[in-house]
């Protein structure tokens, strides 16, 4: 448990900067979007305040509830928002904190030395975007309450009951506004994922997650903290050793680090600052990488594992899963979404702390140290072989007339911002799509059969595969350390496969390739999946249907006898049908691929596509009842 802050937390600690004007006009500036993601972000903002109480050493239990009436509730046993009157504004501090945009205890470091919700816009934004919100505080034997309507108080803070003298904490209940959000349905699994992450990072907190509508309840509590977290991420992989864990402090910056290597080829480094997931990295990640490379090079050279040369950063990170959890007094994030840490001094702090701690560990644990050094040395040799494979690709391109794959039917336009590459499987689908396309801006790249599962294959094998070489060459950016976004040849790379089980498998293999070798294109929003119809229903005119459930609705609506054609593959569609349903920008449906949760994405690809069978079997058994069997 963090040491408790030995200072008063009262109204004088609440600083006010401005009101709530503009939040409802531009909600996406504060919560990302007004669809499912933004809706759940409301919960995250409220819980962040409870976590700040945890970081200050006061909160040990957080209860999170999806209520039957669709509202969300969060209750903690922290100190409770101050309810006394502010000395300057002459209003209850609770009213100020929940109705003013930049008002809160995080601007006065006497109340919170460390916090995640540093910008102070959290619950006030939730208030502004809720048709109704109720705040209750238990402290000093009394229950205080205030109700709000679209961010405005309905009445002043008042005492509504009594509680035990030792009871304390804050409860927030909010009803999201249907005028703001396109959906009001909270997803238990989305909440569970984020709050499980928080529970791993805060081993002293017990999070109770309930869904009263579905009768679900789960208690999230991990006494092992980061070591349990790293094992959880690697549960579908073969670990080389038990997790390495250390905690260091320097100049008010505390770094907790957990490290575990697997026999795989991919690196996964996840950074957190005051429990905020810094998905875009930052100075703490840079410092960690520098220290890791130096420490392993020093060890490998000293012990004779490395005879000559040096291990690169890529070499020492192959097969690595690492979590860096930083606690920092004055974090500087890039924007309200807090996805990248910018504090320049942190790089040096983390570098120094990790270098010292990791160096000590390697010396004291020669068995584990030798396994890691041997893994990095083998990675270095394999990387040299992979480099030769990439060089071979370049030489093949130079000797060719255009440097492009022979099977690529390219488009005529050279304006990357409007060009599209369709990746299709098989000659039949390629033939239809070539005839259906608009040759000016749509290119077609056919692949032969299922591409290599890159999750299981070594990089040198992956980069020697003809189909993958063709794909990399057509895209143009290169992969891994050779990646260059400026060389991207198409603004949209569209995976277009059959709407059957084989097609879904091919799509998954392609997504695995992009996630593991060119994730920058996913992050940049260039990867799409085309949605092709399952059926054509003809009654007077053609109706294209995309699921069995939709087919039932269409048949019921049309009535009488229906002429129904089941499309087993893209090759069965004539060019006009393929253009109308799947390739015409005015009528097609495209799914944009993005990475909402890097930790979950990593776990999912490892589980579905990796070597370890157990987790995959459990997943199949758990989801068998909702799977559609293609006969």
Distance CA 511, CA 513 (A): 5
pLDDT for the residue numbered 9: 65
Rounded distance between C-alpha atoms, residue 596 and residue 507, angstroms: 19
Buried-exposed string 88-127: b where 16+ CB fall within 10 A, e elsewhere:
eeebbbbbbbbbbbbbbbbbeeebbbbbbbbbbbbbbbbb
Please check whether residue 506 is in contact with residue 425, taking contact to mean a CB–CB distance below 8 angstroms: yes
Domain boundaries, the chain: 11-220, 226-382, 402-532+569-595, 535-566
| R_g of the chain computed on alpha carbons | 28
Task: Walk across the sheet containing 541-545 and list its strands.
Answer: 541-545, 535-539, 563-566
459 close to 497: Cβ distance less than 8 angstroms: no
Q: Any catalytic annotation for residue 48?
A: no
What pLDDT is attached to residue 17? 45
- Tell me how far CA of residue 343 lies from CA of 347, 354, 470, in angstroms: 8, 17, 42
Tens-digit pLDDT profile for residues 493-549: 999 998 778 888 999 999 999 999 999 999 999 999 999 888 889 888 888 888 888
Judged against a pLDDT cut of 70, whether residue 625 lies above it is answered with no
Tens of pLDDT, residue by residue over 353-370, are 999 999 999 999 999 999
Contact 329, 114 (CB under 8 A): yes
Annotated catalytic residue within 45, 48, 315, 425 = 425
Cβ atoms of 531 and 589 within 8 Å: the answer is yes
Three-state secondary structure string covering 509-547 = HHHHHHHHHCHHHHHCCCEEEECCCCEEEEECEEEEECC
Please state, rounded to an integer, the average pLDDT across all residues of the chain: 87
C-alpha distances (whole Å) from 313 to each of 255, 547, 567, 597 are 21, 46, 48, 24
For residue 249, indicate whether it is catalytic. Answer: no
Local structure of residue 168 (DSSP, 8 states): -
pLDDT digit string, tens, across residues 77-123 = 999 999 998 888 788 999 988 988 765 555 455 455 666 554 345 79
- Long-range pairs of 614-623 with CB within 8 A, sequence gap ≥ 24: 614/236, 615/235, 615/236, 616/236
Q: What percent of the chain has pLDDT over 70?
A: 89
The length of the chain in residues reads: 631
The CATH code belonging to domain 11-220 is 3.30.565.10
Question: For position 391, what pLDDT does the model report?
Answer: 67
Catalytic residue chosen out of the listed positions 84, 218, 500, 550: 500
Q: Once rounded to an integer, what is the mean pLDDT over residues 57-67?
A: 96
Mean pLDDT for the stretch of residues 203-232: 96
pLDDT at residue 6 tops 60: no
The tally of CA atoms less than 13 A away on the side-chain side of residue 629 is 4
Which CATH number is associated with domain 226-382? 3.30.230.10
Cα-based distances in Å from 107 to 104, 114, 333: 6, 11, 15
- Look up 45 and say whether it is catalytic: no
Span 613-622, average pLDDT: 78
Element (H, E) at 558: helix 548-558
CATH C-level class of 402-532+569-595: alpha beta
d(CA 219, CA 381): 46
What does the angle CA 329 – CA 602 – CA 185 come to, to the nearest 5 degrees? Answer: 80
Q: Which residues pair with 208 in a beta bridge?
A: 63, 219
Same fold, 11-220 and 226-382: no
How would you class 321 by CB atoms within 10 Å of its CB: exposed for 0-12, middle for 13-18, buried for 19 or more?
A: buried
- At residue 398, the pLDDT reads 46
* DSSP annotation of 472: H
pLDDT at 566: 87
Report, as an integer, the average pLDDT of 50-64.
93
Q: Are 107 and 113 in contact (CB under 8 A)?
A: no
Mean pLDDT of 490-495: 97
Q: How far apart are CA 279 and CA 135, in angstroms?
A: 31
pLDDT digits (tens, 9 = 90+) for 287-329: 999 999 999 999 999 998 888 889 999 999 999 999 999 998 8
CA dist 173 and 186 (Å) reads 14
Pick the catalytic residue from 167, 280, 502, 597: 502
Q: Catalytic residue among 48, 95, 498, 602, which?
A: 498
Beta strand 320-327 with 268-273: parallel, antiparallel or unpaired? parallel
HEC profile for 15-51? EECCCCCCCCCCCHHHHCCCCHHHHHHHHHHHHHHHH
HSE-up (13 A, CA, CB side) for residue 87: 6
Chain segment 404-443, per-residue pLDDT in tens: 788 899 999 999 999 999 999 888 889 999 999 999 999 9
Q: 376 and 311 in contact (C-beta within 8 Å)? A: yes
The question of whether 502 is a catalytic residue gets the answer yes
Structure confidence by residue, pLDDT tens digits, 111-153: 556 665 543 457 999 999 999 999 999 999 999 999 999 999 9
Which residues make Cβ contacts (< 8 Å) with residue 30, sequence separation at least 6?
23, 121, 125, 336
């Amino acid at each position: 448990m963090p040491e408790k802050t030995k200072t008063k937390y009262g109204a004088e600690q609440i600083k006010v900067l401005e009101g709530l004007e503009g939040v409802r006009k531009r909600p996406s500036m504060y919560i990302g979007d007004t669809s499912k993601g933004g809706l759940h972000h409301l919960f995250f903002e409220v819980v962040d305040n409870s976590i700040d109480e945890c970081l200050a050493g006061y909160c040990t239990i957080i209860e999170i509830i999806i209520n039957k009436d669709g509202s969300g509730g969060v209750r903690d046993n922290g100190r409770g928002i101050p309810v006394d009157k502010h000395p300057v504004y002459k209003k209850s501090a609770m009213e100020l904190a929940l109705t003013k945009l930049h008002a809160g205890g995080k601007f006065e470091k006497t109340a919170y030395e460390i916090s995640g919700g540093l910008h102070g816009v959290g619950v006030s934004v939730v208030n502004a975007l809720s048709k109704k919100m109720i705040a209750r505080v238990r402290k000093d034997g009394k229950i205080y309450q205030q109700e709000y309507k679209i961010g405005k108080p309905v009445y002043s803070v008042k005492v509504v009951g009594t509680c035990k003298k030792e009871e304390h904490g804050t409860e927030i209940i909010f009803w999201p506004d249907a005028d703001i959000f396109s959906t009001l349905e909270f997803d238990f699994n989305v909440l569970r994922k984020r709050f499980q992450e928080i529970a791993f990072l805060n081993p002293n907190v017990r999070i109770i997650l309930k869904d009263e509508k579905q009768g679900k309840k789960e208690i999230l509590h991990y006494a092992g903290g980061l070591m349990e977290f790293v094992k959880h991420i690697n549960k579908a992989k073969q670990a080389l050793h038990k997790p390495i864990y250390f905690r260091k402090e320097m100049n008010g910056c505390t770094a907790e680090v957990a490290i575990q290597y697997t026999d795989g080829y991919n690196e996964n480094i996840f950074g957190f600052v005051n429990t905020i997931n810094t998905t875009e990295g930052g100075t703490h990640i840079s410092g960690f990488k520098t220290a890791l490379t130096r420490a392993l090079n020093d060890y490998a050279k000293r012990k004779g594992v490395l005879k000559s040369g040096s291990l690169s950063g890529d070499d020492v990170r192959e097969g690595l899963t690492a979590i860096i959890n930083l606690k920092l007094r004055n974090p500087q994030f890039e924007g309200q979404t807090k996805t990248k840490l910018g504090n320049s001094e942190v790089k040096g702090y983390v570098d120094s702390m990790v270098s010292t701690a990791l160096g000590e560990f390697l010396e004291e644990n020669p068995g584990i140290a030798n396994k890691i050094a041997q893994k990095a040395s083998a990675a270095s040799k394999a990387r040299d072989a992979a480099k030769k494979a990439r060089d071979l690709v370049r030489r093949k391109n130079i000797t060719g007339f255009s440097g492009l794959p022979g099977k690529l039917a390219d488009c005529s336009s050279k304006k990357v911002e409007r060009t599209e590459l369709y990746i299709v499987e098989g000659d039949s689908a390629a033939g239809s799509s070539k005839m259906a396309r608009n040759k000016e801006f749509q290119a077609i790249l056919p692949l032969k059969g299922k591409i290599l599962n890159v999750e299981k294959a070594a990089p040198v094998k992956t980069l020697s595969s003809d189909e993958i070489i063709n794909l990399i060459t057509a895209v143009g950016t290169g992969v891994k350390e050779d990646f260059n976004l400026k060389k991207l040849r198409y603004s949209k790379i569209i995976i277009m496969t059959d709407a059957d089980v084989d097609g879904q498998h091919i799509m998954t293999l392609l997504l695995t390739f992009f996630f593991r070798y060119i994730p920058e294109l996913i992050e940049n929003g260039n990867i799409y999946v085309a949605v092709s119809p399952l059926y054509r229903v003809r009654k007077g005119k053609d109706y294209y249907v995309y699921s069995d459930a939709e087919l039932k609705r269409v048949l019921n609506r049309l009535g009488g006898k229906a002429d129904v054609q089941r499309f087993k593959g893209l090759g069965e569609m004539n060019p006009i049908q393929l253009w109308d349903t799947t390739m015409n920008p005015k009528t097609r449906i495209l799914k944009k691929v993005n990475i909402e949760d890097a930790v979950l994405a990593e776990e999912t690809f490892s589980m579905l596509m990796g070597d370890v069978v157990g987790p995959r079997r459990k997943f199949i058994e758990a989801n068998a009842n909702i799977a559609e069997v293609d006969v």
